[in-house]
Amino acid sequence: MIRTLFLLVVLFCALPGAAQETFSVTLTERSDLVNAPALHSGAVAEHEGLWLFVGGRTQNQSGEGGGLHGFGADAFPREYENGDVIVYDRATDTRWSASLDGLPDAIADPLRSTNGQFLARGDSLIVVGGYGHSEAAGGKITFGTMTVIDVPGIIGAVMGARDLAPHIRQPLADEAMLKVAGGHLVNLASEPALVGGNRFDGEYGGAFTQEYTESVRVLKLDGDDLGGVDEFTDAELHRRDGNAAPMVLDGGAIGVGIYGGVFHPQTNQAYLKPMMLSTSGVTQEADFEQHVGHYTSPVLPMYSLERGEMSTVFFGGINAFTWDDASGDWMAVGNPPFIPFTNDIGVVSRRDGEWSERRLGVRMPLACDSGTRCTTLRGTNAAFFLDPALAFYADDIVDFDALPAGETRIGWIVGGIAAGSGSFGQTWASERVLEVAVTKTATPSTETGAPLAFRLGNPVPNPTRTGTRLDLTVDAPEAIRAEVFSVTGRRVAVLHDGSLAPGTHALTWDAAGVAPGLYLVRVTGADGASASRQVMLTR
């Protein structure tokens, strides 16, 4: 049985004079999927519908525990290490696994670690650092390794019960700059960059040393070698275990949003002000504070070019605030540094150089692990697989404008830490799969609520190298202005500005000499009603 759990409605901020556009997000517990792995805090990748899991924490052999680490002498028991490479096929609910035990300790130990940084690029899964047991060190350390996994190759090896070794390379075995856990490995102008995190050596509940990176480290790879590191340092990067996701920056370039993380040295609390990362460094919002996304959780980035709005949805997780229905406002919770598990869902957006936040009206759904452990406190360190069939604006940013009318499957939230209560009671590694869908409830090309006095066709060809044509039909004489805009809002061409007689007219854009990229053709009538179409210019 597939159980639809809830529907939430989100309001996209509209352009001045534009119609408001709504969409809904549906989360469905895939209770028909019973063989997904119980995992969190590991590295993941996807290939042709198959999901790959490496490292992280899992349940023990009795099917128990594996949730949040403890705070005593043995905070990370080895019985909860994920010592397997796991492949899962959602379409058939089939799982395969292969032990790392046959590999040398120097290779296997980092792949059993937790909270390493990972990045899926093409057919490779890059895994950097992570915290776990080292046979060579005789204890727990933060690894300084970079491991490159051939995703199609290792999936085939796991499914075929073949040797894993040919599909795993470790080009960097002990680099000080890679000794990071709890950070993120992201794409920054096509180069991998380590964002935040810390180096933690020793037992979490015993003797240890800890050093936050307070930096972004852009890795200059020369084949299999680390040719150099460009490092941006900032005291506000004294954070770990937060969220980082690709975003469209104010100028239209692709960068990274940095959200939440712990612990602020002055407040001993989560970081509340988001940061933006570009090739020039990091900037932080001075005034805005977010109430969701404080600890690693599923993140859904979506961008609307038509509205110039970047929206990032956060699902559940550990947060310093929760929504209070009685007061209709956010309420601070927890006793720092203990920040509780929550079930709120919200979206942090940026438009016209300003941040905003909206609670989405509902909470994470009630779902049951092993049929008996039921809770809504989900999302912490869960994996999120976006549907590869989606249209993407760039770098795993869903192109909101390209979503068709009606419901579109966005992806799946898998596993994570589930909690019986907010205040660090019983926790466990979850095996539940939640399917996420978005339903658009307005026509994406129409930007005003007024009836249109014209009909605008789609651009042909699109994508294009030299230019494109759109048919515009008017039923009565009409004053029309047709313009082309870049993603930064700069007008690059005026296709028509004046009266048109009844009939169908060709709007032609000669794009010779225009830089490649995504552009918006906007047609506005005499009453101010407008419609727009996207054009992708390539070279």
Per-residue model confidence as pLDDT tens digits over 419-467? 999 987 899 999 999 999 887 765 444 444 456 889 898 888 887 888 9
**CA 362-363-365 angle, 5° bins:** 115
State the Cα–Cα distance between residues 293 and 348, nearest whole angstrom: 9
DSSP three-state, residue 426:
coil
CB-based contact 523:512 (threshold 8 Å):
no
Query: In 3D, which of 167, 2, 26 has the Cα closest to residue 90?
Result: 2
What Rg, from alpha-carbon coordinates, does the chain have?
24
State the Cα–Cα distance between residues 98 and 85, nearest whole angstrom: 5
Estimate to the nearest angstrom the gap between the alpha carbon of 134 and the chain centroid. Answer: 30
CB-based contact 330:324 (threshold 8 Å):
yes
Provide CATH 2.60.40.1930 ranges for the chain.
454-537
State the Cα–Cα distance between residues 329 and 188, nearest whole angstrom: 36
At 314, which helix (H) or strand (E)? Answer: strand 309-318
Q: How much is the mean pLDDT over the chain? A: 90
**What is residue 488's predicted lDDT score, i.e. its pLDDT?**
64
Identity of the residue numbered 113: S
pLDDT value at 61 more than 80: yes
pLDDT value at 250 more than 50: yes
**What is residue 487's predicted lDDT score, i.e. its pLDDT?**
67
pLDDT band at 219 (very low <50, low <70, confident <90, very high): very high
Backbone dihedral angles phi then psi of residue 106, each to the nearest 5 degrees: -65, -25
CB-based contact 215:236 (threshold 8 Å):
no
Cβ neighbors of 95 (< 8 A, separation 6 or more) are: 35, 36, 37, 86, 87, 88, 89
Mind listing the pLDDT tens digit for each residue in 479-526? Answer: 999 999 886 677 899 999 999 999 999 999 999 889 888 888 989 888
State the Cα–Cα distance between residues 147 and 170, nearest whole angstrom: 4
pLDDT value at 20 more than 50: no
pLDDT value at 3 more than 80: no
DSSP state, residue 235:
G
Say which range, 88-97, 122-131, 179-188, 301-310, has the weakest mean pLDDT: 301-310
At 357, which helix (H) or strand (E)? Answer: strand 354-363
Mind listing the pLDDT tens digit for each residue in 260-300? Answer: 999 999 989 999 999 999 999 999 988 899 999 999 999 99
**What is residue 441's predicted lDDT score, i.e. its pLDDT?**
63
Number of other CB atoms surrounding residue 415 within 10 Å: 28
CATH 3.30.360.10 fits 454-537, yes or no: no
Say which range, 192-206, 340-354, 355-369, 395-409, has the weakest mean pLDDT: 355-369
At 109, which helix (H) or strand (E)? Answer: helix 105-111
DSSP three-state, residue 476:
coil
State the Cα–Cα distance between residues 44 and 53, nearest whole angstrom: 5
pTM for this model (two decimals): 0.81
**What is residue 521's predicted lDDT score, i.e. its pLDDT?**
92
